Chain A
Amino acid sequence: MSSAPLQLQNICKNYGALRVTDDVSLNIEAGELHAIIGPNGAGKTTLIHQISGHAQSDSGRIIFDGQDVSRLPMAERARMGLVRSFQITSILPRFSALENVAIAVQARSGSSFSFFGNASKEPALNDTAMALLSRFGLAARASVPAGQMSHGEKRQLEIAIALAAKPKLLLLDEPLAGTSHDESQRLINTLQELRKELPIVLIEHDMDAVFALADRVSVLVYGRIIASGSPQSIRDNAEVRAAYLGEEAA
């Protein structure tokens, strides 16, 4: 038995006749940042949906933290520490930035079946949330409704929300999607720090970011992992070059 915190064992997912995830097995080791790359439509986001529980797998097992979580809903996996971000920014638009983070802190501290007392004035929740916002350079934007923040700020905020939920492992679905050069530089710096704290599964299109950040890279093509290894070995892999990197070179 492997002690890897996250183990995917032969997981599959079909949408109708289309096999989106085809017998994927993968271990995410403690302390590693594991990037999953692949061309558009390779099934990367579906894979994250399956791991996080947003979509259920048709077959195979997902072991997280020594437990089979294959059949658990997303909320329960999140409470166990398997926390994700979304490719398309997912925030609470009319909540302030601070409340977006504070409610995630609330999710992991005490009962939320409490009907009295103003939640937005709980110092324990707000202090933790404020510290996280500061860490992401968003302290001055704490009271801004999240829907009115810039795209780059929202991407930062989403990672702050994920961290507030006390993850033991983070699943990041294209955190750099749609960000400007400066914004993505800032996010990459953030990820450089985060990777020291917990294992991360990163889906990303930005190859510079992937090769700068990843300890290991897996290449997903048509729902299959065709190669897995160090960034250098992936770069040198002929099959990968043909299937994927070749596109960019051309």
Chain B
Amino acid sequence: MNNLLDLDAPASPALATPPRANRAYLLPLIVFVIFALVPLSALWGSQSFILALVTRIMILALAAMSLDLLIGYGAMISFGHAAYVGLGAYSVAILASHGITDGFIQLAVALGVSLIFALFTGAISLRTKGVYFIMITLAFGQMLFFLGTSLAAYGGDDGLTLASRSMFFGSKFLKNDVAMYYVAFGVLLGAYLLLRAIVASRFGRVLRGIRENPVRMEAIGFAPYRYQLTAYVIAGMIAGVSGFLLANQTEFVSPAYTAWQRSGDLIFVLVLGGLGSLHGAIIGAAVFSLLADILSHYTENWALIFGPILILVVLYARGGITGLFGSKS
């Protein structure tokens, strides 16, 4: 048996991956090194502007990456993922408005609320398929949006300004934009490694198998629902963390964070960067945000230019930007 395996060495995926795998890790490595070095660039230029922009990129990337677990690996096209960003953000703002500024408590609440909302809405949504799943996730997202607008005590439509960023161990170090930057960086890197492990694990393989062919998976004994719901909850909680970071970065929350347009942005980011690669979400978030920033200098109607770009990507670069680099998962 072993001899046979050796003879077939190039044909055995377990043994033949190293050269390809190295290249697959190169792109995300470059991305993270660039992010790690960005604060240095501030030595030459307008520090706060660049730091804020790239921090927001990383926060957007975190939310999009969690959505990639659903769309890219689980074939669950959620159109309400911004809801979790909103839940995370409001957890910070509402607690802060009551004087609870401890970051660990806020984070625990953000995670807990996201978990409960994902478990509840996922359990219902996952009973539907295809376009109905898209619509029902959209509906749950909008439900949260309108809940936010009706929260008069917490700013309603206008949103809520944070009195201060979260405190950790009684320290206000997050007020420093470089510290804020590296916290977002650390969370993004941590989430990337976590999701990388998950998609390669036994659980992730079942999830990918369900994406490929759910009936085949049932026929060998996997009930898709439990696996999809678990992934749905994981993705929701990670997006909740991105909301926690977003509230801290902008020091402001509003129902607009949960609007369906934001859910659409997340899908746009994924399609642009490439589905099912995780780092595609990061690259997509960077290109999306930079394009929006640059284009908005020239015209107010920058979204008009975005549309055709997305169409071109869908028509000619199905794998998104990462697809152009030839790395697939």
Which A residues are within 8 Å of any B CB, using their own CB? 52, 54, 73-76, 78-79, 83-84, 86, 90-96, 98-99, 103-104, 106-108, 110-123, 126-127, 130-131, 134, 139-144, 161-162, 164-165
Residues on A with beta carbons closer than 8 Å to the beta carbon of B8 = 139-140, 142
Could you mark each residue 184-216 of chain B with 1 if its beta carbon is under 8 Å from any beta carbon of chain A, else 0? Answer: 000000000000011011111110110011011
Q: How far is the CB of A142 from chain B (nearest CB, A)?
A: 6
Residues on B with beta carbons closer than 8 Å to the beta carbon of A93 = 212-213
Tell me whether B202 and A117 are in contact (CB under 8 A): yes
Tell me whether A90 and B216 are in contact (CB under 8 A): yes
Assembly CA distance A75 to B222 (angstroms): 5
Tell me whether A78 and B13 are in contact (CB under 8 A): no
CB-nearest residue of chain B to A166: B221
Tell me whether A115 and B205 are in contact (CB under 8 A): no
Q: Which of B204, B216, B227, B230 has the most CB of A within 10 A?
A: B216
Q: Is B16 an interface residue (CB 8 A)?
A: yes
CB-nearest residue of chain A to B197: A116
Q: Is B1 an interface residue (CB 8 A)?
A: yes
Q: Is B218 an interface residue (CB 8 A)?
A: yes
| Interchain CB contact (< 8 A) of A75 among B4, B14, B200, B218 | B218
* 3 closest residue pairs by CB, A with B: A78-B221, A92-B212, A75-B223
Tell me whether A114 and B201 are in contact (CB under 8 A): yes
| Interchain CB contact (< 8 A) of B227 among A96, A112, A165 | A112
Assembly CA distance A142 to B10 (angstroms): 10
Q: Is B5 an interface residue (CB 8 A)?
A: yes
Q: Is B304 an interface residue (CB 8 A)?
A: no
Tell me whether A131 and B1 are in contact (CB under 8 A): yes
Tell me whether A78 and B218 are in contact (CB under 8 A): yes
Q: How far is the CB of B228 from chain A (nearest CB, A)?
A: 13
| Interchain CB contact (< 8 A) of A114 among B1, B4, B203 | B203
Residues on B with beta carbons closer than 8 Å to the beta carbon of A144 = 11
CB-nearest residue of chain B to A102: B205
Tell me whether A140 and B11 are in contact (CB under 8 A): yes
Tell me whether A103 and B206 are in contact (CB under 8 A): yes
B: contact size bracket: 20 to 34
Assembly CA distance A96 to B16 (angstroms): 13
Q: Is B37 an interface residue (CB 8 A)?
A: no
Residues on A with beta carbons closer than 8 Å to the beta carbon of B221 = 75-76, 78-79, 107-108, 165
Assembly CA distance A175 to B2 (angstroms): 31
| Interchain CB contact (< 8 A) of A143 among B16, B202, B209 | B16
- In the complex where A78-B219, A118-B201, A165-B220 touch, is A98 in contact with B213 (Cβ < 8 A)? no
The B65-92 residues at the A interface (CB cut-off 8 A) are none
Assembly CA distance A161 to B230 (angstroms): 25
CB-nearest residue of chain B to A109: B202
| Interchain CB contact (< 8 A) of B13 among A91, A98, A103, A131 | A98
Residues on B with beta carbons closer than 8 Å to the beta carbon of A115 = 197-198, 201, 203-204
Besides A120-B200, A130-B1, A162-B219, 10 more A-B contacts (Cβ < 8 Å) are A76-B221, A92-B209, A92-B212, A98-B12, A104-B220, A113-B202, A116-B197, A119-B201, A140-B11, A143-B16
CB-nearest residue of chain B to A141: B11
Tell me whether B220 and A139 are in contact (CB under 8 A): no
Q: Which of B215, B217, B230 has the most CB of A within 10 A?
A: B217
Residues on B with beta carbons closer than 8 Å to the beta carbon of A106 = 202, 205-206
Residues on B with beta carbons closer than 8 Å to the beta carbon of A164 = 220
Assembly CA distance A83 to B272 (angstroms): 41
| Interchain CB contact (< 8 A) of A119 among B202, B220, B223 | B202
CB-nearest residue of chain B to A147: B212
Tell me whether B220 and A161 are in contact (CB under 8 A): yes
Assembly CA distance A117 to B200 (angstroms): 7
Residues on A with beta carbons closer than 8 Å to the beta carbon of B223 = 73, 75-76
* Subset of 26 A-B contacts with CB under 8 Å: A75-B217, A78-B218, A78-B219, A83-B220, A86-B216, A90-B215, A98-B14, A103-B205, A103-B209, A107-B221, A115-B198, A115-B201, A115-B203, A117-B201, A117-B202, A119-B205, A120-B13, A120-B200, A127-B1, A134-B1, A134-B4, A139-B4, A139-B8, A143-B16, A164-B220, A165-B219
